[in-house]
Structure 1
Amino acid sequence: MTAPAHARHTKRQVIIETAERLFAEHGYDATSTARIAHEAGVPSGLVFYHFATKLDLLLAIVQERPAPSEVLRSAARGRTVRRRLKAIVATMAEELEHDRAARIIVFREAQGRPEIAERAAELFAEATETVADVLGGAEDVVADPDRVQSAAELVVSRVFLDTVALGQADTAATRHAAMIDLIADSLTTPDGGHAQD
């Protein structure tokens, strides 16, 4: 007799959540599948029932995340660049902090695992594209698309670095106030906020 679909999903999710916590705390290489199974409260064979290899389990942790575009678009509803930037920064920091273990895993494991590096690049590109699109749609933006794209890259890079690498999500909006002002000025003034020569 097989378990109902929701029970199988629950066990799979418990395995993913346990592996995510252990990989973040101890690293991928230092965490055995036996330890994951033990701490998840499941038989060792169940890990391999759901994931053919330990790498498949790692990939599931990284790939089964909410798309950044959904979260960022729903948060940035302000009409001006400045309001949208404030919402984007706060939302990104909150989401990255909430999903901190997975982001630590991506940050750490991307160095030696091409599959993880590729997924990290995809997530960065998607977040950057979404931020550029959201900023470009503000009613007061006058900057060209290249400047908007550069601003989006700066925002995504800085918030990711501060939140994941430095662990400073709780003060993101305050610490990024100067960056928000600089970018808003750059995108809403005809000369990009620079004095003419």
Structure 2
Amino acid sequence: MTAPAHHSSTRSTKRQVIIETAERLFAEHGYDATSTARIATEAGVPSGLVFYHFATKLDLLLAVVQERPAPSDVLRSAARGRTVRRRLRAIVATIAAELENDRAARIIVFREAQGRPEIASRASEMFAEATATVADLLAGADDVVADRARVQAAAELVVSRVFLDTVALGQVETATKRHAAMIDLIAESLTCGVRVPGGRARRS
């Protein structure tokens, strides 16, 4: 009875090796320039095993992009501060670190999304999930007084700006220092920049 479990575990391990090898090669050489034969060779598996796990090379590319930790899980585990400013600092640092750790995958998404609807769709889904999670985290801070529309706009600004700096511009180090002015501006807006009836600013 133990043999099937062993074989299943081995197949699962081989599948992961194929994904990791494909991720590296797709990032280094591009999807079109990377053959499944080369992926199999560098993964140390028979060519047929690639197609045992993935019906097409595109299915393998989709697995590389899709089989990653959910942005919501990563962000929620990191941003536990009680104030907007503390949460923003943790969110910015976490997004930048995750994008850097996933450098190969982000290169693939940035490159392949241009001509492949499936990748563009997945990138949009991940951006939307990250933005919604950031909005929830900011809305749950003790000192936030802004309405949901302003919180949502702040979340979109944070995610898009950190993504632009990290993915498009390659700027990763000291993310919280580089974005200190943005963090202060958003924190001020969400905690004491909301107008209430009578025209006075509500302070936290």
* TM-score for the superposition, normalised by structure 1: 0.94
- 2:83 aligns with one of 74, 80, 83: 80
Structure with bigger gyration radius: 2
Q: How big is each residue's C-alpha offset from its partner over 1:51-78, in whole Å with a ceiling of 9 and x where there is no partner?
A: 0000000000111111100110111100
Partner of 2:94: 91
CA RMSD of aligned residues (A): 1.6
Partner of 1:39: 42
CA contact (8 A) 2:145 2:194 kept: no
Residues 1:102 and 2:119 are matched in the alignment: no
- 1:143 aligns with one of 143, 146, 162: 146
Alpha-carbon distance between aligned partners in 2 of 1:92 and 1:6, rounded to the nearest angstrom: 32
Alpha-carbon distance between aligned partners in 1 of 2:53 and 2:144, rounded to the nearest angstrom: 48
How many pairs were matched up? 194
- 2:60 aligns with one of 57, 61, 83: 57
Residue 190 (structure 1) shift: 3.7
Alpha-carbon distance between aligned partners in 1 of 2:131 and 2:28, rounded to the nearest angstrom: 28
Partner of 2:165: 162
Give structure 2 stretches of 5+ with no counterpart: none
Alpha-carbon distance between aligned partners in 2 of 1:11 and 1:96, rounded to the nearest angstrom: 25
Residues 1:128 and 2:134 are matched in the alignment: no
- 2:13 aligns with one of 7, 10, 15: 10
Residue 157 (structure 1) shift: 0.5
Residue 107 (structure 1) shift: 1.1
**Percent of aligned pairs with the same amino acid:** 81
- 2:31 aligns with one of 28, 33, 36: 28
Alpha-carbon distance between aligned partners in 2 of 1:112 and 1:51, rounded to the nearest angstrom: 21
Give structure 1 stretches of 5+ with no counterpart: none
Residue 41 (structure 1) shift: 1.0
Alpha-carbon distance between aligned partners in 2 of 1:19 and 1:190, rounded to the nearest angstrom: 48
Residue 5 (structure 1) shift: 1.2
Q: What letter corresponds to residue 171 of structure 2 in structure 1?
A: Q
Q: How big is each residue's C-alpha offset from its partner over 1:125-153, in whole Å with a ceiling of 9 and x where there is no partner?
A: 00000000000110111111111001000
Partner of 2:116: 113
Alpha-carbon distance between aligned partners in 2 of 1:31 and 1:171, rounded to the nearest angstrom: 34
Alpha-carbon distance between aligned partners in 2 of 1:176 and 1:5, rounded to the nearest angstrom: 46
Partner of 2:184: 181
Q: What letter corresponds to residue 27 of structure 2 in structure 1?
A: A
Alpha-carbon distance between aligned partners in 2 of 1:11 and 1:161, rounded to the nearest angstrom: 34
- 1:66 aligns with one of 58, 64, 69: 69
Residue 104 (structure 1) shift: 1.1
Alpha-carbon distance between aligned partners in 1 of 2:92 and 2:187, rounded to the nearest angstrom: 13
Alpha-carbon distance between aligned partners in 2 of 1:63 and 1:30, rounded to the nearest angstrom: 21
